[in-house]
Chain A
Amino acid sequence: MKFALFTGCVSQGATRELMVSTKKAAEGLGIEFVEMKSAACCGAGVVGEKSPMLADALNARTFAIAEKQGLDLVTICSTCQGVLKKTECNLKSDPEYMKKINHILSEGGHQYDGEKSRIKHFANILATDEGMKRLRERIKRPLTGLKVAAFYGCYVLRPSKLSDFDNPDNPTGMEDIFAALGATPVYYESRTKCCGFPIVMMNKKASLDMAGNALVDAIESGADCVVTGCPLCHLNLDSYQPEIEKLLEKKYHIPILHLPQLVALALGYSPKDLDMDKHIVSTLNVKRKLQPVG
């Protein structure tokens, strides 16, 4: 399995542990990632607020780079995933628009064909038959006894016509991965909700209330940790957790892991290998539940 890796910006910055653990997980699974070093930021839907066409042109350029590499593109961020998929949909549904965008790209030596590369989230490549087979074959430390709550991130689910999950209202892809790793999936209502991160700068109270409600739901459902496929969700749920505690006047303590961290733990990597000491919320209760590597 070989893919073009669209890292996204946050995994290179505030959540560098995501990039570290993605590389470990890939190494452990025998997946080859070719980093797309000349790909621009997806725009997170925000560049599109300034100019929808600009956002689509930048993302089409990214697709053209993946096509040139002859590889499917893999994201490790739900937001990147959703934004790239929206551009793909905009271009493929309007041949005239695609022609205009390709005209803009041509001067930089890029052309987007539309058929040579697919966009996949890391969770979606694991949730395939091949991905699950690899997971099961290479597990060195089943995560037995660890109760894990998924937090999907809006953009991999909605709008459903852009989602790779069979049922975006009631997805099971991440929970299926947890089960394959030997962990116990925790199903709770807020797992498909918004973490509130996009409005943390505009309406902080609402943003942290959203994150807090999801955390309470996960804790009350018995989870030991929350695992997310989106570094922006990670930022709101982990980095702001001390402020959420104050706001909702409740004591919380639930570690938030990136999906590749959980996968790599089961593949035998140590929490230190995966920079789990760099989280704002201590990951000690996850470490305590880990079995020795077999």
Chain B
Amino acid sequence: MTTFRIKRYNPEKQPEPYYEDFQLDIPDGSTLLDCINLIKWKQDGSLTYRMSCRSAICGSCGMKVNGRAILACQRQAVSQVDKDDTVTIEPLGNMQPIKDLVVDFEPFWEKVHKVKPYLQTNEQPPEKERQQAPEQFRLIDDSSTCIMCGNCYSDCNVLEVDDNFLGPAALAKAQRFVSDSRDEKTLERVTELSEPGGIWDCTHCGECVERCPKPAEPFYRIKEIMTVALEQGVHNNNGARHALSFANSVKASGRLNENRIPVESVGIFNIKGLMDLIPIGIRMLLKRKIPPIFHKSIDDVKDVKRIFKELGQ
């Protein structure tokens, strides 16, 4: 018998969530969703969760299993059993629970809508379809596989501390249009996406790549938007300045100049930003943790410069 420890919540009956244990013999070959269905059908009909396709297409059955977001229909139940013969099931994170494993997706959808997830063109639609070459489609192939399950949103490290972040799913959706050869609002899009809460607030933790059940892998899509934003000249923000300063530093010496990058990231005319750097600067100085004032180049830096030049950077 395996214990399925499920987080229950029904605000009409009890304000606080609680855990309830269900015992089940896992039938051979069953997915985690099959097991949850069996518990609902045979043990407690009030257990509430979303599900539909059972084949990792619809994205409805996202839930946290042993602390990580997965699609319940995409995993064999036995693969989720821990060393104590228990599977712990909780609602997705970073969203408010409504009942049991069902969470409120409203903020998630609001953010998806915010990135304008539709083609924007300047001209009237053609009589027939707008065509794309295979190599043009390849740029948006991965992001177009997103099934909006919310798993990446659930486990995003930034969203845990900042509701203002658009989050990985909305940003992956944004890349779907930023890189679409038929869309004509690229500059407007990357300008908006470079504002606070957008691409530069991604902390690079890779958690969304790990939780994504499809090839959408939002972190990599966010990086692709960053590249387009820099190419389009949207440089008036700390994230872009940081990337440019970093690359310039490597170009000049082969390594990062840690004394310059904080100053160049906040902007050399940004008095408030520079003032904010003073406490950490003094603290580091007092402990002799300031990087060398005379920044030394790596050996054979000429070759590094040559590579930059050859790639037009």
Contacts and interface: CB of A to CB of B under 8 A. Distances in A.
Interface string A15-45: 1100000000000000000000111110111
Contacts of B306: 107-108
Interface in B217-236: 217, 223, 226-227, 230
B298 A46 contact: no
A286 to B, nearest CB: 16
Interface stretch (A67-75, A199-207, A251-259): A199-207
A41 B287 contact: no
Interface in A149-202: 154-155, 157-160, 168-169, 189, 193-194, 196, 198-199, 201-202
Contact of B161 (A12, A109, A189, A210): A210
Interface in B14-51: none
Contacts of B288: 278
Given A202-B201, A210-B203, A242-B283, A158 B247 contact: no
A199 B158 contact: yes
A135 interface: no
A47 B289 contact: no
Contacts of A50: 227, 230, 243-244, 246-247, 313
Interface centre among A169, A202, A243 (most CB of B within 10 A): A202
Contacts of B127: none
B201 A199 contact: yes
Nearest to A43: B250
Contacts of A109: 303
Interface centre among A38, A157, A189 (most CB of B within 10 A): A38
A40 B203 contact: no
A61 B303 contact: yes
A280 B283 contact: yes
Contact of A158 (B160, B162, B205, B280): B205
Nearest to A46: B246
Interface residues of A, number: 65
A152 B99 CA distance: 35
Contacts of B210: 158-160, 168-169
B258 A155 contact: no
Contact of A15 (B165, B243, B289, B299): B289
A47 B250 contact: yes
A221 to B, nearest CB: 15
Contact of A41 (B239, B254, B313): B254
Contact of B308 (A15, A54, A160, A240): A54
Contact of B162 (A49, A104, A203, A280): A203
B68 interface: yes
Contacts of A290: none
B231 to A, nearest CB: 9
A44 B290 CA distance: 20
B291 interface: yes
Interface centre among A10, A51, A243 (most CB of B within 10 A): A51
Contacts of B67: 169, 189
Given A14-B284, A154-B205, A213-B161, A204 B276 contact: yes
Contacts of B161: 196, 205-206, 209-210, 213
A64 to B, nearest CB: 11
A228 B203 CA distance: 18
A243 B157 contact: no
A16 B290 CA distance: 9
Contacts of A136: none
Given A50-B244, A210-B161, A41 B311 contact: no
Interface residues of B, number: 64
Contacts of A199: 158, 200-203
B203 A194 contact: yes
Contacts of A51: 227, 247, 311, 313
Contacts of B230: 49-50
A292 B139 CA distance: 60
B313 A196 contact: no
A104 B307 CA distance: 7
Nearest to B300: A38
Contacts of A12: 255, 291
- Closest 6 pairs (CB-CB, A-B): A13-B291, A158-B206, A194-B205, A209-B161, A108-B303, A9-B256
23 contacts: A13-B258, A37-B299, A38-B300, A40-B254, A41-B249, A41-B256, A47-B246, A51-B227, A54-B313, A58-B307, A82-B206, A108-B306, A109-B303, A154-B207, A160-B210, A196-B203, A201-B239, A203-B196, A209-B161, A210-B158, A213-B160, A239-B289, A280-B283
Interface of B: 67-68, 157-158, 160-162, 165, 196, 200-207, 209-210, 217, 223, 226-227, 230, 237-239, 242-244, 246-247, 249-250, 254-256, 258, 262, 265-266, 276, 279-280, 283-284, 287-292, 298-301, 303-304, 306-308, 310-311, 313
Given A202-B201, A205-B161, 20 more contacts: A9-B258, A12-B291, A13-B291, A14-B284, A44-B256, A54-B311, A108-B303, A158-B207, A196-B161, A198-B204, A199-B200, A199-B203, A203-B200, A205-B162, A207-B203, A209-B161, A210-B157, A210-B160, A278-B287, A280-B287
Interface of A: 9-10, 12-16, 37-41, 43-54, 57-58, 61, 82, 104-105, 107-110, 154-155, 157-160, 168-169, 189, 193-194, 196, 198-199, 201-207, 209-210, 213, 239-240, 242-243, 278-280
